[in-house]
A and B are shown apart, each in its own frame.
Chain A
Amino acid sequence: MEVTQAPARAKRRGPDAPFANQYHAWLRTMVLIRHFEEKAGEAYALGQIGGFCHLYIGQEAVAVGTLAALRPDDYVISAYREHGQALARGMTPRSVMAELFGKATGCSKGKGGSMHLFDASINFMGGHGIVGGQIPLGAGFAFAAKYRGTDQVSLTYFGEAAVNIGSFHEALNMAGLWKLPAIFVIENNGYGMGTALKRASAITELYRRAASYGMPGVEVDGQDVVAVKQATDDAVAHARAGAGPTLLEIKTFRYVGHSMSDAASGTYRSKEELDSSRQRDPIVLLEMRMRELGMLDDDSVKKLEAEVIEEIADAVKFAEESPEPEPGALWTDVYAPATT
């Protein structure tokens, strides 16, 4: 095995200086995601949001740290726990909340829902509902970038449970074979629905799987937004240089159930385990760092919280007041408009 391709545990590097000017923005986005998801949970309980709804609470640093490393013209695709990534990529809370409410003003005109958030204007290529199904699509965006000779990269999110499905293996093999500019992000929150990783995967150090596909594999602390940003920066630089894809195993926790229909703990994981995972909350960790650096005090935290709460309240109000799709919307967007 080439040394440069050896799987590794990423250590957080160096001083804060290169990123510190972004900490406020990252903190704000993480707090925004947290509040957005809490509000989405409430709206679901009230019946304002239907279907399946998978919340991102606890995983905020993964979306914010990874997406901070991308350019606007890069591609992003995810699975169905994608509200946080959509917001971190730049979709507005209004657009996402209205979609959850099924309204015509939603990002997908109310036809997608929680699992199918899309915004082509920022290359957010969707939430996808079949486990692992989006991984080849993400490789396809990278294929297109290479085909066109641009230096765009494609970043694909999936949960740790998706590494056991064929699409993961097939897509990563071809991405490695063809040195596609792709970053594959395993968001390892420990559980595929109610199945613990150790009950589903023959090896649990998932970054080591990269060795099979001739690409670097890196384990990352997903509660530390700075570590996530650094590891993603490395992967992006590798891809833009034409050196091929990277597999990032970003270890995180979800504080909530798989979806709105199961409890956060009690069946497949204990309350003690959940409580201990909350000890390393990504928002608290960044706040502590910023306080140490003298960048944050109680007043600025309060101000930020107040702003975010207002922004989310506005999003809910917007979603509530937005119109339902017109009945005719049922029949549009099935096929491309006829060109002749």
Chain B
Amino acid sequence: MAVLTYRDALNAALREEMHRDENVFLMGEEVAEYNGAYKVSRGLLEEFGPRRVVDTPIAELGFAGIGVGAAMVGLRPVIEMMSMNFALLAIDQIVNAAAKIRYMSGGQIGCPLVMRGPGGAALQLGAQHSQAFESWYAHIPGLKVVMPATPADAKGLLKAAIRDDNPVVFIEGEMLYNMKGEVPDGEYVIPLGRADIKRAGNDVTIICHSKTVAPALNAAKTLSEEGIDAEVIDLRTIRPLDHETILASIARTNRVVVAEEGWGFAGVGAEVVDVIQREAFDALDAPIIRVHQADVPMPYNKHLEKAAKADATKIVAAVHQVCYRN
């Protein structure tokens, strides 16, 4: 087991899967000669050559569509988006083609594609570069949506995403790339659709994913000093959503906070809350509280930006609310 950054864990997953399967290739802006805008693809051009590590023009719709086409005829493209904000230009190909080809063709043609890149906010990148779009993709039947929060999960989930026969939207984070952690060597594949209990606890369940996992764990630490034992569930896969892990936790804790980076309106948390109210209504001892970005475009000013983002302080406050503590 080596200590790797999240970035290098992704790099290891790509390298291993490209060795394993000749059909896997990486395509996107600056992935080859520049070694990746965030260096996720560092060294891959040298190792695999320009046939399998393909620099593209700035044309997200076009190269996403070329990836979808290649996947329809049996290749396994990994399409890197420099930012999920730019992937909005490509969303027609993902939603109208990738997600529906299998259904529209009566099951004849699949689309084993991974579209990956950083989503959500970093620091002071302003309104157009700070958006979390996972709920947009998770809304679409036919897609899977995966969001690792740790280096080990990044490796294990990317390997699973590449091997999956469905189109997978794999959302990373600029603020996660430098995170270090232990990562199993070699064959380490985490099945999609399974949440992970990042911290076990009995008093309250904090459900989170991606960049809200670290603040949730920090919040849990603070809460433990107050005598509140929080369980932290990292969804890891947004679609399909792991109902079982969520419901099993709530059966013990009876109190829930749902945290996410993006906006609340029609967000991932809204779906999680719906599942809970339908399937665990009687287990709840308090209304569920959600923590999410303020319902405004992301401001540039650092104080305003901090005020807009979900963080550990806001999660702690939400837990106090569901535990009726002030």
How near does chain B come to A130, taking the closest CB pair, in angstroms? 5
Interface residues of B in 26-43 (CB under 8 A from A): none
For the complex of A and B, list the 6 residue pairs with the smallest distance between their C-beta atoms, beginning with the closest: A140-B69, A136-B65, A170-B62, A109-B106, A336-B165, A118-B105
CB 8 Å contact bits of B54-78 with A (1 = contact, 0 = none): 0011010111111111111111000
Measuring CB to CB, which residues of chain A are less than 8 angstroms from any residue of chain B? 75, 77, 106-112, 116, 118-120, 125-126, 128-130, 133-141, 143-144, 147, 154, 166-167, 169-171, 173-174, 177, 332-336, 339-340
Interface residues of B in 101-135 (CB under 8 A from A): 101-110, 112
Is B141 positioned at the interface, with any CB of A under 8 Å from its CB? yes
Give A324 to B101 CA distance when docked, in angstroms.
21
Q: Which of A108, A170, A336 contacts B110 (CB 8 A)?
A: A336
What residues of chain B lie closer than 8 Å to A173, measured between beta carbons? 57, 59, 62
B59 touches A170 (CB 8 A): yes
B57 touches A140 (CB 8 A): no
Q: Which of A110, A174, A340 contacts B62 (CB 8 A)?
A: A174
What residues of chain A lie closer than 8 Å to B64, measured between beta carbons? 136
CB 8 Å contact bits of B287-299 with A (1 = contact, 0 = none): 0000000000000
B105 touches A120 (CB 8 A): yes
B109 touches A335 (CB 8 A): no
Given contacts A112-B104, A120-B105, A126-B104, contact A139 B142 (CB under 8 A): no
Give A140 to B63 CA distance when docked, in angstroms.
8
B106 touches A112 (CB 8 A): yes
> Which secondary structure characterizes the binding site on chain A?
mixed
B107 touches A332 (CB 8 A): yes
Give A71 to B71 CA distance when docked, in angstroms.
21
B69 touches A334 (CB 8 A): no
Interface centre among A120, A137, A154, A174 (most CB of B within 10 A): A137
Residues of B in contact, count (CB < 8 Å): 42
Give A24 to B209 CA distance when docked, in angstroms.
64
Interface centre among A108, A110, A125, A140 (most CB of B within 10 A): A140
B103 touches A333 (CB 8 A): yes
Given contacts A126-B109, A174-B56, A336-B166, contact A136 B66 (CB under 8 A): yes
Give A339 to B69 CA distance when docked, in angstroms.
22
Given contacts A133-B97, A174-B57, A174-B59, contact A333 B65 (CB under 8 A): no
What residues of chain A lie closer than 8 Å to B110, measured between beta carbons? 336
Give A140 to B61 CA distance when docked, in angstroms.
12
Name which residue of chain B comes closest to A126, CB basis: B105
Given contacts A140-B70, A144-B74, A174-B57, contact A336 B105 (CB under 8 A): no
What residues of chain B lie closer than 8 Å to A106, measured between beta carbons? 106
Q: Can you name 28 A-B pairs with beta carbons within 8 Å? A: A75-B73, A77-B69, A108-B104, A111-B103, A116-B104, A118-B105, A126-B105, A133-B65, A135-B65, A136-B62, A136-B68, A137-B72, A137-B93, A139-B62, A140-B66, A140-B70, A140-B71, A144-B73, A167-B61, A167-B62, A170-B57, A173-B59, A174-B56, A174-B62, A335-B102, A335-B144, A336-B112, A336-B164
